[in-house]
């Protein structure tokens, strides 16, 4: 049948391997070429340097034990030289259990947000997810827990209710709704270090 279609035999040569192939090998190579590429690694958390910031003050504000951790992560040979607007990559947190907020001390957590792809889908509490409501997902806190979340970069805070489970990416502790993330100013960066503490409201 191929010989009856002019030019098709010549075109088909482009799809054949140069050397001899075992039966079925052509098809196996074709399937391998269609395999999806590995997903990109999650975007690291970042911090934009503000006027008056020093590496020491940034490390203290974001809960790092030493400014040298930030210096090493960003290849800074002169840690004292920072310019406003400079974006620092924040090292990933240590692989430890998610910090639990307490009434006496806020916990510094790595937070992300989720929105349109999940809007309307049922949450762990059985209700449909409203991406504009002030809600959050946490792996272990009881559903209905009220949390005050604060962004140390800009001082903004929002109170959220734990209504769902997640996030399930290692190193991340809290998933905020789109609406809560917008109030905290973390939409563009996507991943942020935030302070979390329980509320009585």
Can you give the pLDDT at residue 176? 97
Is residue 162 scored above 80 in pLDDT? yes
- Side-chain-facing half-sphere of 190: CA atoms under 13 Å: 5
At 101, list the tokens.
Answer: 């907020």
| C-alpha R_g of the chain | 25
Tell me which of 174 and 53 has the higher pLDDT.
Answer: 174
For 151-158, what is the mean pLDDT? 94
Band (pLDDT 50/70/90 cuts) for residue 50 is confident
Q: Decide the pairing of beta strands 174-177 and 107-114.
A: parallel
Residues with Cβ within 8 Å of 149's Cβ and at least 6 positions away in sequence, in order, are: 111, 136, 157, 158, 159, 160, 174, 176, 180, 184, 194, 195, 196
- pLDDT of 169 reads 84
- pLDDT band (50, 70, 90) for residue 79: low
Q: Measured on CA atoms in the order 62, 64, 68, 70, is the torsion positive or negative?
A: negative
Q: How confident is the model at residue 13 (pLDDT cuts 50, 70, 90)?
A: very low
Greater pLDDT, 183 or 25: 183
Strands 146-150 and 46-48: unpaired
Mean pLDDT of the chain: 77
Domains of the chain: 45-91 (3.10.350.10), 95-201 (2.40.40.10)
Cβ-count burial of 73 within 10 angstroms (0-12 exposed, 13-18 middle, 19+ buried)? middle
Asked whether residue 43 carries a pLDDT value surpassing 70, the answer given is: no
In sequence order, the 6+-apart residues with CB closer than 8 A to the CB of 24 are none
Beta carbons of 189 and 46 less than 8 angstroms apart: yes
Neighbour-count burial for 39-50, b at 16+ CB within 10 Å, e otherwise: eeeeeebbbebe
């Amino acid at each position: 049948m191929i010989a009856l279609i002019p030019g098709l035999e010549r075109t088909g040569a482009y799809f054949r391997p140069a050397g001899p192939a075992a039966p079925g090998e052509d098809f196996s190579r074709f399937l391998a070429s269609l395999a999806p590429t590995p997903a990109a690694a999650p975007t690291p958390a970042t911090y934009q340097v503000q006027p008056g910031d020093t590496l020491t003050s940034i490390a203290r504000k974001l809960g790092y034990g030493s400014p040298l951790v930030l210096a090493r992560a960003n290849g800074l040979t002169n840690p004292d030289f920072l310019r406003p607007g400079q974006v620092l990559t924040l090292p990933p947190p240590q692989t430890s259990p998610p910090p639990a907020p307490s009434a006496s001390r806020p916990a510094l957590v790595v937070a992300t947000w989720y929105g349109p792809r999940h809007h309307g889908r049922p949450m762990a509490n059985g209700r449909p997810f409203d991406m504009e409501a002030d809600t959050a997902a946490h792996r272990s806190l009881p559903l209905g827990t009220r949390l005050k979340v604060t962004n140390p970069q800009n001082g903004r805070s929002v109170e959220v209710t734990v209504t769902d489970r997640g996030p399930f990416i290692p190193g991340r502790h809290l998933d905020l709704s789109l609406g809560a993330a917008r109030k905290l100013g973390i939409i563009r960066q996507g991943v942020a270090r935030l302070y979390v503490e329980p509320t009585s409201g």
